[in-house]
Structure 1
Amino acid sequence: MSQPFLKIEGLSRHYPDASGKPQTPVFENVHFGIERGEFVCIIGHSGCGKTTILNVLAGLDEASSGVVIMDGREVRGPSLDRGVVFQSHALLPWLTALKNVEFGVRSRWPDWSREQVEQHSAKYLEMVGLKHALHRLPSELSGGMKQRVGIARAFAIQPKMLLLDEPFGALDALTRGTIQDELLSIVQATGQTVFMITHDVDEAILLADKILLMSNGPQARIAEIVEITLPRNRARATMHHDPQYYGIRNHLVDFLVNRSHDYVPLPEPEPV
């Protein structure tokens, strides 16, 4: 049986108290897999450890136990194979939009000429609608434009996996919708594998192939994995016309409102 592109087994994370003793785990016994080219969203209430899981996948944090295997290799530390977009844009304020993207591209391909780096970087900024703003500093960009630069920078290094930590959470609804559409278009064109945190149920339905539902922390688990069966050519304006949409949405909302806090994990199987 073939292994998924990304495999997470037995992941848990706890933090020590003042005396150094481990506290109750934030999350524990987390298992899931992501296939190559799949878009996966994870949803759960604050405190269940979503961002910590993403940071472990990025190599920016270490789990207390468990293992993350990507493309046949264990994840240990940061790597350009994984591009990350955070809630805040994390741009270098003294560099233009183009230079911010070039910074990542040059790290990925140090032997490229200046012209190669510039052309490659500009292409990805154009893909997110920033052809007119290549030479603007972050202070001259709106919040949505800054997030576009961050997304372009992550895509430009052509990572094996893209990790998104609520990248649209601070944006107004119109800007958020526009960037969602741009992200969806790029992902479909490139076949990018994506793991994304969101609190927005409709955003998850629009973007994801499957959605991981986490129970409340502490001792949070992956309670359910919901396959999104809507056709892949989704659009925000028409998605709600699909008869499957409300059934999926109601199931997700019901879990978050009524069932996430009462989730009781199944007992571990007895060793054979």
Structure 2
Amino acid sequence: MRNKNAVFLSVQALSKRYRPDLPPVFENVGFEIERGEFVCVIGHSGCGKSTILNVLAGLEEASGGYVIMDGKEVSGPSLDRGVVFQGHALMPWLTVEQNIAFAVRSRHPDWSRRQIAEHGARFIEMVGLTAAARKKPSELSGGMKQRVGIARAFSVEPKMLLLDEPFGALDALTRGVIQDELLRICAATHQTVFMITHDVDEAILLADKIFLMSNGPKARIAEIVVNTLPRARTRETIHHDPQFYRIRNHLVDFLVRRSTTIQQRSGDVAELPVTRIVRPGLETGDDTAFVLTA
């Protein structure tokens, strides 16, 4: 049973409506994330995934509900929440080390230039870009730019990292390399992560829990899939575990079929199904994976 004292982020009754004459994009969204958890969110376009992330980041206001992080309500941007978008958003006139130094200086304005440089160098090394530290973004590949973005987010030592499809524009090989880097860094730093992705395999590789959102409007988090594959999983070995395919099939079935049917029958909050636990593979005595359905 979960230790309630471990809850780091609490989201309650969150909703977003852009116009009063239109239904909300999402409503009654609620979930909790424990410190050090890696959560991925999957859902079709238009269900409000990025809007929820922006609300968590303090970049956008919700129409209803609230977000509590580490005992404080989120009411605006903060260095306690690092954000990485699909676009790297680097300053093109600055080198890699200068881009990161800019972020570090915002966290530690009283530090000397040497302290900032030494601190930033740790994170440049962490993402394997020491040799490119003095290059400008125009001299870097797309994958290298995203590594700089990740290093910059980590360099301010946020309490939570928010990733909005950060690898969506990368080729498969580069994407895999950065996934491995992200797993390694998060394991070393015990970083709490909230990540949006459309890639089912990526979610299974990275996440401790996978939030599945129903279709919009009036979208909601319909299921929370608990990833019970060993945490030390790698891209090279994950496909050899039969449990990988049970979880993957469940996620794909949700996206292809159930996300639509759930939306059709949940016109009223009072009609939402009671929480249930599903164990794929139970007929064979395998209960290593389970799903909590809202």
Task: Normalising by structure 1, report the TM-score.
Answer: 0.95
User: Is 1:11 paired with 2:10?
Assistant: no
- State the one-letter code of the partner of 2:29: V
Q: Give the equivalent residue in structure 2 for 1:41.
A: 40
Counterpart Cα distance in 1 of 2:137 and 2:183: 24
**SS of match in other structure, 2:261:** coil
User: Is 1:176 paired with 2:175?
Assistant: yes
Report if aligned partners of 2:97, 2:124 keep a CA contact under 8 Å in 1: yes
Counterpart Cα distance in 1 of 2:171 and 2:125: 21
- State the one-letter code of the partner of 2:159: K
Report if aligned partners of 1:101, 1:156 keep a CA contact under 8 Å in 2: yes
Question: Following TM superposition, by how much is the alpha carbon of 1:240 offset from its aligned partner in structure 2, in angstroms?
Answer: 1.0
Aligned pairs (5 A) from 1:226-237: 226-237=225-236
Counterpart Cα distance in 2 of 1:247 and 1:239: 12
Question: Following TM superposition, by how much is the alpha carbon of 1:242 offset from its aligned partner in structure 2, in angstroms?
Answer: 1.3
- State the one-letter code of the partner of 1:13: K
Name which of structure 1's ranges 162-171 and 107-116 shifts more when overlaid on structure 2.
107-116
Question: Following TM superposition, by how much is the alpha carbon of 1:22 offset from its aligned partner in structure 2, in angstroms?
Answer: 4.0
**SS of match in other structure, 2:218:** coil
Report if aligned partners of 2:6, 2:35 keep a CA contact under 8 Å in 1: no
User: Is 1:30 paired with 2:16?
Assistant: no
- State the one-letter code of the partner of 1:172: D
User: Is 1:197 paired with 2:196?
Assistant: yes
**SS of match in other structure, 1:223:** strand
Report if aligned partners of 1:212, 1:222 keep a CA contact under 8 Å in 2: yes
- State the one-letter code of the partner of 1:138: P
Counterpart Cα distance in 2 of 1:161 and 1:191: 10
Counterpart Cα distance in 1 of 2:271 and 2:219: 15
Report if aligned partners of 1:14, 1:22 keep a CA contact under 8 Å in 2: no
Report if aligned partners of 2:215, 2:260 keep a CA contact under 8 Å in 1: yes
Tell me which stretches of 4 or more aligned residues in structure 1 moved more than 6 Å.
none
Q: Give the equivalent residue in structure 1 for 2:277.
A: none
Counterpart Cα distance in 2 of 1:121 and 1:2: 33
Q: Give the equivalent residue in structure 2 for 1:153.
A: 152
- Output the aligned Cα RMSD: 1.1
- State the one-letter code of the partner of 1:252: L
User: Is 1:61 paired with 2:60?
Assistant: yes
Counterpart Cα distance in 2 of 1:53 and 1:114: 36
Q: Give the equivalent residue in structure 1 for 2:86.
A: 87
Any idea what the Cα deviations from partners look like across 1:220-256, whole Å, max 9, x if unmatched? 0100000000010010010011121100000000000
Question: Following TM superposition, by how much is the alpha carbon of 1:2 offset from its aligned partner in structure 2, in angstroms?
Answer: 2.9
Q: Give the equivalent residue in structure 2 for 1:267.
A: 270
**SS of match in other structure, 2:224:** strand
- State the one-letter code of the partner of 1:7: S
Q: Give the equivalent residue in structure 2 for 1:256.
A: 255
Aligned pairs (5 A) from 1:197-236: 197-236=196-235
- State the one-letter code of the partner of 1:50: K
Any idea what the Cα deviations from partners look like across 1:141-185, whole Å, max 9, x if unmatched? 111111000000000110000000000000000000000000000
- State the one-letter code of the partner of 1:86: F
Aligned length: 265
Any idea what the Cα deviations from partners look like across 1:121-140, whole Å, max 9, x if unmatched? 11101111101100101111
Question: Following TM superposition, by how much is the alpha carbon of 1:66 offset from its aligned partner in structure 2, in angstroms?
Answer: 0.3
Question: Following TM superposition, by how much is the alpha carbon of 1:206 offset from its aligned partner in structure 2, in angstroms?
Answer: 0.3
Counterpart Cα distance in 2 of 1:112 and 1:234: 39
Report if aligned partners of 1:214, 1:223 keep a CA contact under 8 Å in 2: yes
Q: Point out where structure 1 has 5 or more consecutive residues left out of the alignment.
A: none
Counterpart Cα distance in 1 of 2:151 and 2:190: 15
**Larger RCO (CA within 8 A; separation ≥ 6):** 1
Task: Normalising by structure 2, report the TM-score.
Answer: 0.88
% identical equivalent positions: 72
Counterpart Cα distance in 1 of 2:271 and 2:15: 15
